[in-house]
Amino acid sequence: MMWIRRQYTAKKKTGMKMKKNELGKTGIKVSAVGFGVLPIGPAQLALSVDAGARVVRYALKNGINFIDTAQYYQAYPYIVKALENGGFDDVVICSKSLSADYAGMMEAIEEARQTLKRDAIDIFLMHEVRSGQLEERAGAWGALKDARSRGLVKAIGLSTHHVDITAAAARMEELDVVFPLINYAGLGIRSGNRFASADEMMEAIGACKRAGKGIFSMKAFGGGNLTGHYRQALDYVFSKPEIDSVMIGFGKTEEIDDILAYLDGTMAADYNPDISKKKIYINQEDCEGCGACKAACPNSAIFYNQTGLAEVDHNVCLTCGYCTPVCPVRAIIMY
């Protein structure tokens, strides 16, 4: 497998182009797979700016032109560093903000423009919209519409883990793009206060597609928890014609080699990456301290830390993954 990967990477560097799809009616063309920068940032691998930028630049050199980031990822410096020497004229950047009001969203857009050194951000989204929040975040949505009309951003939309919000997005006439969570196991998918299925989410995604919305998906590997079923996870999302691009979080150039080999068809049918060194973590920004994971853990490896949030004791964690599907906010990740 290593020989196949090296051969493939060398072939990519000779100038082969990755397929690009238009996001809905935006006129924005993006690679079939995108680069999610969260893993290289301070919340996960915490790579140095130089090291993280090298991973981003490696992806760009191999035809991945779509980058996803967010205000709270604190990852803008990696992108700036990767682009500072030029050479890429079709890079598409999507950013997002959790701001709920008009002023906060406008500040987030301006921060992105200034820090990323771009006159206009290609795509800007309301970040992680949950059930019932469309009304609560009406101010932020108004800011996005104004920013687009002023040329500060080119396309606007929302990201969500919720089926009902994805369905609602199909009915929002001024919305350009949707960034929903979808994977074959349905990990992290919600609808209101209940867990929902992949089929339910795909039905909502289909409604968005029929409404002309651009669609790029997140969490094909369920926050890393499905990486051991690598091909199954990718086969599922890449088989969906409704999805224009699949956003994947990368932390290493080897992970980019893997996806390139998958897309090129040179990957062995039984390939799975080595996940023996990966550990389960609970994202402290997402955890709500509900205790569902703690109750599901068969080895008492999850405890409440001093802030009242769940944390994993890696000395006793079995990496069994029993905690993952019960988390209502998809805070449990593996890397």
Evaluate if pTM is beyond 0.85. Answer: yes
Per-residue pLDDT tens for 206-264?
999 999 999 999 999 999 999 999 999 999 999 999 999 999 999 999 999 999 999 99
Neighbours of 130 (CB within 10 A): 16
The DSSP annotation for 111-162 comes to: HHHHHHT-SSEEEEEE-SPPTTHHHHTHHHHHHHHHHHHTTSEEEEEEEESB
Nearest to 166 by CA among 224, 126, 138, 136: 126
Nearest to 227 by CA among 333, 326, 322: 333
The residue ranges of the chain whose pLDDT is under 70 are 1-16
Mind listing the domains of the chain with CATH numbers? 2-264 (3.20.20.100), 280-334 (3.30.70.20)
The confidence score (pLDDT) of residue 3 equals: 31
Nearest to 130 by CA among 95, 173, 166: 166
Share of the chain above pLDDT 90, in %: 89
Provide the 3-class DSSP secondary structure of residue 19: coil
The confidence score (pLDDT) of residue 17 equals: 73
Angle at 307 between CA 52 and CA 251, to 5 degrees: 15
The confidence score (pLDDT) of residue 307 equals: 95
Bridge partner residues of 121 (DSSP): 153
The confidence score (pLDDT) of residue 9 equals: 38
The confidence score (pLDDT) of residue 330 equals: 87
The confidence score (pLDDT) of residue 15 equals: 45
Nearest to 97 by CA among 119, 116, 77, 123: 123
Nearest to 197 by CA among 205, 33, 292, 291: 205
Strand pairing of 121-126 and 92-97?
parallel
Q: How far apart are CA 27 and CA 195, in angstroms?
A: 35
Q: How far apart are CA 297 and CA 317, in angstroms?
A: 9
Bridge partner residues of 334 (DSSP): 280
Q: How far apart are CA 31 and CA 17, in angstroms?
A: 9
The confidence score (pLDDT) of residue 93 equals: 98
The confidence score (pLDDT) of residue 285 equals: 86
